[in-house]
Amino acid sequence: MRDNPNASARAMNLADNRRPDQVVGRFAPSPTGRMHAGNIFAALMCWLIVKAQGGRIVLRIEDLDVERSKAPFIDQIQRDFEMLGLTWDEGPYFQSGRDEAYRAAYDALVNRGLVYPCFCTRADLHASSAPHRGEKLVYAGTCRGLSPEGVSARMAERKPSYRLRVPDAVYALTDLVQGPYGQNLERECGDYVIRRSDGLFAYQLAVVVDDEEQGVNCVVRGMDLLCSTPQQMYLQDLLGYGHPQYAHVPLVVGEKDRRLSKRDRDAALDELLAAYKTPEGVIGHVAGITGIAPSADPVSCEELLKAFDINSLATMFPDKVQILWQ
Ligand code: GLU
């Protein structure tokens, strides 16, 4: 964990002074690598959307999957945010320390008979990390109707993961960037894993509990997580939470339909700093190519905020799905 006395002092003060009417957003990085242009763009949009509404930002390190999370990245990501001027007001909070909170929510769902064991292999595959685009499969409900005897017999063979029963119902929202979006949970998603077979709680459950308990009411993130939002709204309803406001911003892609990856060295933050010299140079380039700013000249986050019009979010991006990195 990064020793940042200022951040924790700030965190305590602000957590004590929460105002129910204030907009609260979050940076929720998974510490599995160094920042790149795509993360920077999403974080910048989050910062602008929240700050334009006079809000504050919580930093949450999504290190649920301890094997994939690397301590040096946790430290580095915080320094990168600070350097770029992407300030946060509360946190960092760590998912790895919140097992009890997730367990309480999970137990409440179990007690309502909404959870069942699933013995299908590969069920765990992506359950602890956010399911980025192209990774979502509709679960066929194979283990939904297993008898108690069937469950006992299978238990002897392998540890199950645990799925949440979903209804044949549409969960819909009006996204600040994407507009209206809805999904029939049964037909377009299926029952989904909320606890992995190794006991870890899954991303969908953790993120909903965290957003609620950290007071987050404005979620800004990449477009690839739009299809997770109806699942998260269903959980919010079950647990008696409100729904945040959502803004899903386009993905920055290396080429059409391909997320930025390690191949795109020129999009990695250290390369960006080498190419554009200063944090303002990097922010300016990202703002320029994504259409946040009219030019790619160096600029600070604060300067961008002065010109940022939150009412134009729905028309800000000609392509709302992807923006080509250049
Ligand atoms: N930790 C996730 C990521 O870095 C983001 C999850 C979210 O915003 O809900 O992709």
pLDDT tens profile 109-154: 999 999 999 998 876 555 656 666 555 678 888 899 999 999 999 9
Q: What is the pLDDT of residue 126?
A: 58
Amino acid at residue number 191: D
For the stretch 275-303, pLDDT in tens is: 999 999 999 999 999 999 999 999 999 99
Q: What is the pLDDT of residue 130?
A: 67
**Does ligand 1 have an atom closer than 6 angstroms to the CB of 207?**
yes
**Does ligand 1 have an atom closer than 6 angstroms to the CB of 31?**
no
Report the C-alpha gap between 33 and 36 in whole angstroms.
9
Per-residue pLDDT, averaged over 70-80, amounts to 93
Q: What is the pLDDT of residue 148?
A: 94
The percent of residues above 70 in pLDDT, for the chain, comes to 90
pLDDT beyond 70 at 6:
no
Q: Is 54 left (phi over 0), alpha (psi -120 to 50) or beta?
A: left
DSSP codes of every residue in 98-149: -HHHHHHHHHHHHHTT-EEEE--TTTTTTTTS---TT-------TTTT--HH
C-alpha 239 – ligand 1 centre gap (Å): 21
Residue pair 297/278 in contact by the 8 Å Cβ criterion: no
**Does ligand 1 have an atom closer than 6 angstroms to the CB of 62?**
yes
Nearest C-alpha to atom 10 of ligand 1 is from which residue? 130
Report the C-alpha gap between 143 and 197 in whole angstroms.
14
Torsion, Cα of 184, 164, 139, 154 (10° steps): -160
Name the residue with higher pLDDT: 48 or 123: 48
Residue pair 14/24 in contact by the 8 Å Cβ criterion: no
**Does ligand 1 have an atom closer than 6 angstroms to the CB of 98?**
no
Q: What is the pLDDT of residue 124?
A: 58
pTM of the model: 0.91
Q: Which pLDDT band holds residue 5 (cuts at 50, 70, 90)?
A: very low
Per-residue pLDDT, averaged over 195-204, amounts to 95
Return the structure tokens found at 126. 């992506």
C-alpha 130 – ligand 1 centre gap (Å): 6
Q: What is the pLDDT of residue 69?
A: 87
Nearest C-alpha to atom 9 of ligand 1 is from which residue? 207
Report the C-alpha gap between 26 and 217 in whole angstroms.
9
* Cβ-count burial 243-277 (b if 16+ within 10 Å, e if not): ebbbbbbbbbbbeeeebbeeebeebbbebbbeebe
Per-residue pLDDT, averaged over 51-56, amounts to 97
Q: What is the pLDDT of residue 11?
A: 42
Q: What is the pLDDT of residue 288?
A: 97
Nearest to 212 by CA among 115, 101, 116: 101
**Does ligand 1 have an atom closer than 6 angstroms to the CB of 195?**
no
C-alpha 221 – ligand 1 centre gap (Å): 7
Of 33-42, 126-135, 136-145, 308-317, the least confident: 126-135
Name the residue with higher pLDDT: 177 or 66: 177
**Does ligand 1 have an atom closer than 6 angstroms to the CB of 221?**
yes
Contacts of 36 by beta carbon, 8 Å cutoff, 6+ apart? 260, 264, 267, 268, 269
Q: What is the pLDDT of residue 135?
A: 54
**Does ligand 1 have an atom closer than 6 angstroms to the CB of 48?**
no
C-alpha 282 – ligand 1 centre gap (Å): 22
**Does ligand 1 have an atom closer than 6 angstroms to the CB of 30?**
yes
